[in-house]
Structure formats: structure tokens, C-alpha cells
Amino acid sequence: MPQLVSIAGLSVAFGGVPVLRGVDLALEKGEALGLVGESGSGKSVTWLGALGLLPRHAQVSGSVRLEGREILGASAAELDRVRGGRIAMIFQDPASALNPVLTIRKQLCEALALHRDLQGNGVKAEARRLLDLVGIPDAGRRLEAYPHEFSGGQIQRIMIAMALAGNPDLLIADEPTTALDATIQAQILELLSTVRRELGMAMVLISHDLGVVAENCDRVAVMYAGRIVEQAPSNQLFADPVHPYAQGLIGALPPLDGPRRRLTAIPGTVPDPAHMPDGCAFAPRCTLAAEPCGLAAPSLAPIADDRSVACIRAEASRRALLGVAAE
């Protein structure tokens, strides 16, 4: 069975400056994959690039297959069918994704008319059902309201309703619960996973919240500076991160109990994409960096059946392990 989506060597550059540098990711039907990583590491660009949503001046290369069929560079008409139909996306800036001068009903119905074979009253009933489904109280009346009349959390529910309008096989949720408080976040994530199970929908959850990703995804990929640096089943990644960046990420989480301490922020900033260091992009911030790290960029290599890491130290220890095993 082919993968639902498989991305290979996806690279994106803006004005000759590479920001995505060879991303490989695969997703099975119905699977939930978490994508975490430094701000600016290319989490959004990966999916914007894959779905042909980047501005024209972006140079995109590599391969993106939807059930084996290449969609990178596909015609505008084909991409329109894919987006909002087979693959839906909830964007990071929900407020700017809704039209402020149209009622929620107008916008939901538009999405429904575009991707579903529904007419007249059917469209309206479905719009109402979707609002109900995402837990907007008093859905019938609230359909007539404008975006500014909803709170941030309610807007995000509406975005989810819009995304579900096309019955997608894959939902890409870019920071879907960022502005919500915990009990509603828990309900929305619960909602997403219920919908996901019912529809057999796969999901990519992009989030800065490691807790959210840990609880809602089967597998997690950690991105840094335009590459994936570690990929593992959720529980393993959080119990035992291997890549120094993944370790730092988990250590930077403020504790909810016990004594307060100054956070152990990873020092420095993400390297400027225009001035990428030679070798491992994390080296300038890595406390474990050694001389070989500056020579060649480590590639993502398996360290176990379902885990892979891009770090020279991990490679070395794997080679040592393999060496021992060969004897």
C-alpha cells in the first residue's frame, strides 16, 4: 500500500536563500504525526511548499506524492482539488484566514459549495452541523455572526469546521490550539482525534507545545534549520531524546510544580538561512559540538527500527553498536 503522502528531498529557497534543505517525511493513512521545532525551522514552509501555497518567488524542488501521484508542480486546477478536498490546512494566523466582512455562514457555505456535492438547504444544514460539531454554542444563530464577534478560541473552532468542510484525508493543523486555554484545548484536541478516528483522517499537528504533540501524535518529527533532526515514536522521543536540540527543547519547558528555576533556554538563535554554518546547523548552539560537527552536515540515519537522528554523535554510537554486533 502506498503511503498517503510521501515527501522526499523537499527544498525551498527564497531569492536563492535555502530555508528548507532536503526534508523527507512520510505519512500513512490515518496516522497522526507531530511536527515540532524552532521558530523559523520550516515547519509551515514544508506544508505550504508541498501544497503549492508559497509565493511565486519561492523556488521549490524535490518530490511530494499523494498516494503515489506527484503533486509538486501540478497544475493549478489539480492543486485546487487537492487543497481543501483531499488535504485541508488550518493556518497559523486564523484571524487573517477569515474574511472580516462576511458572515461565518457565507464563508462555510463557500467552502462547502467548492468541495462537496451539496445544494441549497443541504449546504446550510451541513454548515450548521459543522459548527455544532466543533462545539460553537447556539450554532444556528451564530452562523449569522461576523468573525470579530467571536473570541480567539471560537475562531479556531470555526477554522476547524472550515477545514472539515471538504471531508479531507489529511488535515494539516498548524498550531491549531495555540491561543486556547487548557480545558478547551483538551476538548479541541479530543474533537480532532474523534473526527480523525471517525473519518480515518490522517493529521499533521504542527505545535510548539511538546505536551500537546506528545499526547496527540503517534510519531514526532523534530525540525531544525530546514531539516528534520530526529524522528521517533512520541513516547520514546520525550522519554529519551537523542539529538542535542531535542534534548534542549524538552529541558526548556517551564515546570508546573516544584521550585521555580530560570529556564534553560538553548543559547543563541537559529542561524540566518543566508549564512548557514558548514556542517551541522545546530553546532553553534550545541553544548556537545566537537570538531567533526563543523565538517559535514549529518544526515538523518536510523538508530532503531522506527527512530532516526541526524547527529554525528548518534551516528558514531550507532557505528560503534553495529561494530560490536558484527563481531
Which residue ranges make up the site for ligand ATP (CB under 6 A)? 14, 19, 37, 39-45, 55, 92, 148-153, 179, 273
Residue 154 or 216: the one with the smaller Cβ distance to ligand ATP is: 154
Q: What gap in Å lies between CA 257 and CA 284, rounded to an integer?
A: 32
Binding of ligand SF4 at residue 298 (CB under 6 A)? yes
How far is the CA of 161 from the CAs of 158, 220, 309, in angstroms? 5, 25, 36
- Range 91-110, binding another protein (CB under 8 A): 92-93, 95-96
Backbone torsions φ then ψ of 205, nearest 5 degrees = -105, 110
> What value, to the nearest 5°, has the Cα angle with vertex 115 and ends 110 and 119?
65
- Range 146-175, binding another protein (CB under 8 A): 149, 151-154, 175
How far is the CA of 86 from the CAs of 79, 164, 167, 168, in angstroms? 10, 10, 7, 4
Residues 109, 280, 300, 303: which binds ligand SF4 (CB under 6 A)? 280
Q: What gap in Å lies between CA 215 and CA 207, rounded to an integer?
A: 12
- Range 289-318, binding another protein (CB under 8 A): none
The 220-259 contact track toward ligand SF4, x by CB under 6 A, reads: -----------------------xx---------------
Residue 166 or 273: the one with the smaller Cβ distance to ligand ATP is: 273
83 and 53 Cβ atoms separated by less than 8 Å: yes
Residue 54 or 118: the one with the smaller Cβ distance to Mg ion is: 54
Q: What is the CA radius of gyration of the chain?
A: 21
Task: List interacting residues with ligand SF4 (CB under 6 A).
Answer: 243-244, 280, 282-283, 286, 288-289, 293, 298, 311-313
